[in-house]
Amino acid sequence: MNRRIFYFSLLSLAVTGCGSVSKKSAMGDFDYAKEKEAKKLSIPAGLNKPKDDTKFFISDDINHKGPIGQNVDVRAPSLVLPVASSSRVELGVTTSKIWFDQIIEETNLKDFLVEALREQLVIDGVELKSVGQDDIAFESDWYHKEELSGYWFLETVDSSESIRFSYSFEEKPHGRSVALSVKLIDFMRTDEKGASKTIDLIDKQRAEMAMLNEVIAQVDFKYRLNQRENRLMRANQKFVTLGENIVAEPAYIAEIELDLLWSNMPLFFADYGFEITDLNESKKIYFVEFVKPDNSLWSVIWGDDVPVIDLDEGTYQFVLADIEGKTSVTIYDAEANALPFETLERIFPVMESALSFRDAF
List of domains in the chain: 3-29+57-233 (3.30.530.50), 240-356 (3.30.310.170)
Tell which wins on pLDDT, 165 or 230.
Answer: 165
Residue 27, pLDDT above cutoff 80: no
Chain centroid offset of residue 265 CA? 36
How does pLDDT run across 128-137, given as a tens digit for each residue? Answer: 999 987 889 9
Cα–Cα separations (whole angstroms), residue 331 to 100, 189, 214, 328: 51, 79, 57, 10
At residue 102, φ and ψ (nearest 5 deg) are -65, 130
Report the range of poorest mean pLDDT among 163-177, 226-240, 282-296, 309-323: 226-240
Q: What is the pLDDT of residue 104?
A: 86
Tell which wins on pLDDT, 267 or 21.
Answer: 267
At residue 242, φ and ψ (nearest 5 deg) are -85, 140
Beta bridge partners of 179: 99, 170
Residue 60, pLDDT above cutoff 90: no
Report the range of poorest mean pLDDT among 2-16, 198-212, 341-355: 2-16
Residue 186, pLDDT above cutoff 90: yes
- Give the Cα separation of 267 and 360 in Å (integer): 9
CB-based contact 165:211 (threshold 8 Å): yes
Give the confidence band of 65 by pLDDT, cuts at 50, 70, 90. low
Q: Which helix (H) or strand (E) holds 359?
A: none
Give the confidence band of 88 by pLDDT, cuts at 50, 70, 90. very high
Q: Where are the beta strands (DSSP E) in 62-155?
A: 87-88, 97-101, 128-130, 137-140, 143-149
Tell which wins on pLDDT, 217 or 226.
Answer: 217
Cβ-based burial of 156 (10 A; exposed 0-12, middle 13-18, buried ≥19): exposed
Mean pLDDT score, 180-186: 95
CB-based contact 112:104 (threshold 8 Å): yes
CB-based contact 155:149 (threshold 8 Å): yes
- Give the Cα separation of 199 and 70 in Å (integer): 20
Cβ-based burial of 355 (10 A; exposed 0-12, middle 13-18, buried ≥19): buried
Q: What is the pLDDT of residue 63?
A: 60
Q: What is the pLDDT of residue 75?
A: 74
Q: What is the pLDDT of residue 1?
A: 42
Residue 288, pLDDT above cutoff 50: yes
Give the confidence band of 330 by pLDDT, cuts at 50, 70, 90. very high
pTM: 0.56
Q: What is the pLDDT of residue 299?
A: 47
Mean pLDDT score, 37-60: 76
